Amino acid sequence: MKIYIETLGCPKNEADSQMLKRLLASGGQIVSTPVDAEVVVVNTCAFIQDAQKESIETLLEYLLRWKQEQPGRRVYAWGCLVQRFIKALQKEIPELDGLIGVLPVERISEGLFSHWREKTDQPLVLHAEDPDTSCALSSQYFESPPFYAYVKIGDGCDRGCGFCTIPFIKGPHRSRPITHICQEVKELVGKGKKELILVDQDTTQYRDGERRLPDLLRALNAIEGDFWVRVLYIHPDHFDLPLLESFAACDKVLPYFDIPIQHASDSVLQAMNRIKSQKELRTIFKLIRERIPEAVLRTTVMVGYPGETRQDFDRLVAFLKEIQFDRLGVFRFSSERGAPVNRKRLQRVSAKEGASRLDEIMTLQQELSYEKNRRFLGKVVRVLVETAPSHYVGRTIRDAPEIDGSFDIYTDETLTLGEFYTCRVTETDVYDLGGTPA
């Protein structure tokens, strides 16, 4: 069985795909393009409507074109979209060869192998009303990017944010043991990984008995080797001083704080079921910058949330101008079936107004980012060199893969991919830096 896995959505999905690839490789062949595959598994996303649309369009593309090119090919839908909409998918896209919800990858791999061997025309259905995100010990380095890997420390969510359906899709939060995570990181470092990126629906929910995220970071920091540890998805409502101190104390843990605030107007935060007020959010970022002056602050905000007035939006804009985040993502509210906000009678923001507010924030952030990047001219930074298309390209501590910027290196020297180099910044733009080896 030759298998290709198409991964949509967030880095957490990428981690799941790597786990499944490792298991499927034990009895099948993982191929790098769908052209060579007999089976395609699409790891779907259902977080917002745009993600759902992309997932459905991808499935239809494989069914209408790829599957028709060669008899016997199979297409399976897997993940969040199936967990949320299995009945609708069974009705609307009966051509799918299988529907797989949120389940342990061990069960998924067994089901796929069994279904392939049976050669049945009956679709494979692997689904449970209660999603199971149990995380087994797993080496996720199969066919992952050459020099970094996502390490899943847990999954599921116990929060009740008004806009979010993740608790219904993924179920309650579960964490992996520290010993399992450390073993995986050791294996990944041994395979040449230079950056390990910790992902979870909310990394601050991490628990291993009495041990929490700061304990995990210290354990990872003690592993031998020259590598970075980056932490994503830090919920501001449970950011505390012990966590900040663990960042400061661990030299391998990057001072990169990915803290999605979602909004900065107290009335909107309250409507979202968020705990921290604007004042408390301000204190968090002030403490981070006081304790770690070189800290990189990344956040995500949402515009057009039901009940958001122009005054609320102006408060958000003023807060962003004040804090001046290094990196920022912005989304327009997407009404999701089952989200807690739907139980409230709040005035809806028009799609046109929501899009306008999104554009306003993106324009502001581009201006802030351009000015912040200009301050790096002449400075020396550490760069992980990853590719060499026409010149060398890498990333600094400020750049998470795929969502942030990059660093262009101009040199006649021969550099080694997957190594760290000290470079002097000679050029900047809105998102990226460039320079030469120092």
Give the pLDDT confidence score for residue 140 in this predicted structure.
52
What structural domains does the chain harbor?
A: 2-126 (3.40.50.12160), 134-254 (3.30.750.210), 260-374 (3.30.750.200), 380-437 (2.40.50.140)
CA pair distance 408, 381, nearest whole angstrom: 12
81 Cβ neighbours under 8 A, 6+ residues apart = 44, 45, 46, 52, 55, 56, 89
Cα 227 to the chain's mean position, in Å?
Answer: 20
Model pLDDT, residue 172: 86
Q: What angle do CA 61, 123, 85 make, to 5 degrees?
A: 65
- Per the listing, tokens 């979202």 go with 272
C-alpha distances (whole Å) from 365 to each of 215, 254, 316 are 34, 23, 12
Dist. CA 195–CA 253, nearest whole Å: 10
Structure tokens at 105: 């990858």
The pLDDT value recorded for residue 122 is 93
Of 181, 201, 173, the residue nearest 140 (C-alpha): 181
Per-residue pLDDT of the chain (438 residues; tens, 9 = 90+): 999 999 998 888 988 898 899 889 989 999 989 999 999 999 999 988 889 999 999 999 999 999 999 889 999 999 999 999 999 999 999 999 999 999 888 999 999 999 999 989 899 999 887 776 665 435 454 556 689 999 999 988 888 888 888 888 888 889 999 999 999 999 999 989 999 999 999 999 999 999 999 999 999 999 999 999 999 999 999 999 999 999 999 999 999 999 999 999 999 999 999 999 999 999 999 999 999 999 999 999 999 999 999 999 999 999 999 999 999 999 999 888 878 888 888 889 999 999 999 999 999 999 999 999 999 999 999 999 999 888 999 999 999 999 999 999 999 999 999 999 999 999 999 999 999 999
Q: What's the angle, vertex CA 196, arms to CA 193 and CA 198, rounded to 5?
A: 160
Beta bridge partners of 229: 196, 253
Strand partners, 263: none
- What is the model's pLDDT at position 235? 96
- pLDDT of 134 reads 64
Write down the pLDDT at residue 137. 39
Radius of gyration of the chain (CA): 22
